[in-house]
Structure 1
Amino acid sequence: MNNAYPVLFVSHGAPTFAIDPGIAGARLAELGRELPRPTAIVVISPHWMTRGGVRIGASAAPKTIHDFGGFADELYRLQYPAAGSPELAGRIQQLLADAGWQAETDAQRGLDHGAWVPLLHLMPAADVPVVQVSLPWPLLPENAFKLGEALRPLREAGVLLLASGSLTHNLYEFRGHHGAPAEYVTRFAAWTAEALAEHDLPSLFDYRRLAPAAERAHPSDEHLIPLFVALGAAGEDYRLRILEGGVAYGMLAMDSYLFSSADTPESQAA
């Protein structure tokens, strides 16, 4: 994996992250300036889940999808006009098929907010081609890791694999808690950071049983599953960099994680 491009798990939080970047947005902007320019970006987000296999966005000009409701009008005017790459979509389809995944391209699919909201901060010029890959569902952490493994060769071509999710995601509490971070949020974030730092994949795979307040932090799995895709793409010998993002609305931990290979030069690993 010499010179392989790093992998990023990003907590995209609520759609308002697009216009209220806070600490997390500043960290992503700094990282975007540090990283070498990728040849393309491949995004997995929990806002495109598909049954019966994986789908790959193959539009040459993917639309910006505003897949949310009840927010400020300003959010619906935002656009992320990055080009797509039908050629890269075809390569991804082949990589997944070779690894035993059922995969099809979709020339109509655009970029959902799990993709374009963090990219507004990370790559604001929208001048790097973006291809979104669906999250097949249902998906266990171990199988999400295998999906990431199938995508790992893209790193050798300078592709940024961006797994977009949320470190904690209990939207039942979104409207009701706007003060100090909830105690369970900080405990869950600390446990995850420690497990990642120790490369403790068995515990991470079994997080729902082992992590503190896992059921409250994630009433359902879909927003943490992209982390396991990132881990699969990173490989077990990764180097970890934590981008501390604070906590939004008292319940959305906004930390992100950059994974680079142990043999990746420092300049490449940011």
Structure 2
Amino acid sequence: MDTRYAPVFLSHGSPMTALDAGPAGAFWRALGRAIDARVAAGGAAPSAIVALSAHTLARRAVTLAGARHEAVHDFGGFPQALYDLRYDVAGVPCLAPHVEQLLQWAAIEVEHADAGGLDHGIWVPLRDIRPRADIPVLPLAFPPDRTPEQLFELGAALSPLIDEGVWIVGTGSITHNLRLGLPRAGDVPELPASAAFRAWFADRSAARDWRALWQYRTLAPEASFMHPTDEHLLPWFIAAGAGGAEDVPIRLHASVAGGHLGMDAYAFGADARALADDVEAAAAM
């Protein structure tokens, strides 16, 4: 029975993506249908999701082990329709001690919090992927002052969860400079800086050039422009570490919102190709 799910990185976009997700939303819905297709074929949906978001950060790793989660509207100045959206889902308190133990075995500091709530980096894509909210979620805060290589190691510590049917989902944005303003609606040409950064990241990923990827801030074109701060790219490295260094990361989706906000998604590890094939088949339905 197929119970393994490749760790993924999803670009979640601005909060407005919840109202108009564009091509990324179509991809998220196909990802959800791919899970349903596995179940229909005799496999299983993920037993739980461990979610790592650019908007849930702490000085050290923290499991948010509430029994129930609701959508947190962690933003301001948006249309009321956005604040009316909800996403209520079960938590996974019983999984938190196991996650904490895995991190402790890797000498990574971790704390436990009996807290609930999903930031928009988590609930925005999940509303399209699992609109029935039928997979419980354990958010895991991470420290944004760690290097990409250190966060890759944090992800590697979580890798045993894959064999247990747990889906590791990192969310951020492959490019993220909101100093350029919120993405405008409509067909807006992509900024050359965004295109250059996304292409470099895809190329270095395909080459499994982990050293270059860990040093993206000094090696990637337009890195400081496309990521004035690191936090939106850091979940990529955690999901990648969970998948491991041996397999080529696969870009599941590539699009840009409003000319500069990259919405690319990646899968990692030995199960990445199977997930990519499943999503491709689901997208054709």
TM-score normalised by L of structure 1: 0.93
Tell me the alpha carbon deviations over residues 128-183 of structure 1, each in whole angstroms, 9 at most, x when there is no partner: 00010002131110101011011111111111100001000001002486631111
Q: How far is 1:268 from its partner?
A: 9.2
Distance in 1, Cα, partners of 2:133 & 2:269: 23
Q: How far is 1:269 from its partner?
A: 6.5
Contact 1:115–1:164 at 8 Å: present in 2 too? yes
Distance in 1, Cα, partners of 2:178 & 2:30: 28
Secondary structure of the 2:189 match is: coil
The aligned length equals: 267
1:268/1:195 CA distance change after superposition, 3 Å: closer
Q: How far is 1:26 from its partner?
A: 0.5
- What is the one-letter code of the residue matched to 1:167? I
1:234 aligns with 2:249: no
Distance in 1, Cα, partners of 2:273 & 2:241: 20
Paired residues for 1:60-75 under 5 Å: 60-75=67-82
1:268/1:201 CA distance change after superposition, 3 Å: closer
Distance in 1, Cα, partners of 2:17 & 2:224: 24
- What is the one-letter code of the residue matched to 2:5? Y
Of residues 122, 126, 146 in structure 2, which corresponds to 1:139? 146
Paired residues for 1:20-39 under 5 Å: 20-35=20-35, 36=38, 37-39=45-47
Secondary structure of the 2:217 match is: helix
- What is the one-letter code of the residue matched to 2:224? E
Which stretches of structure 1, 4 residues or longer, exceed 4 Å deviation after superposition?
A: 175-178
1:76/1:3 CA distance change after superposition, 3 Å: closer
- What is the one-letter code of the residue matched to 2:76? G
Contact 1:5–1:269 at 8 Å: present in 2 too? no
Contact 1:44–1:162 at 8 Å: present in 2 too? yes
Tell me the alpha carbon deviations over residues 12-50 of structure 1, each in whole angstroms, 9 at most, x when there is no partner: 010011111100110111122113411110100111111
Consecutive unaligned residues in structure 1, runs of 5 or more: none
Distance in 2, Cα, partners of 1:177 & 1:266: 35
Paired residues for 1:25-174 under 5 Å: 25-35=25-35, 36=38, 37-51=45-59, 53-174=60-181
- Matched with 2:281 is none
Secondary structure of the 1:33 match is: helix
Distance in 2, Cα, partners of 1:268 & 1:154: 20
TM-score normalised by L of structure 2: 0.88
More strand by share: 1
Distance in 2, Cα, partners of 1:161 & 1:64: 19
Report the aligned-residue RMSD: 1.9
- What is the one-letter code of the residue matched to 1:137? P
- What is the one-letter code of the residue matched to 1:9? F
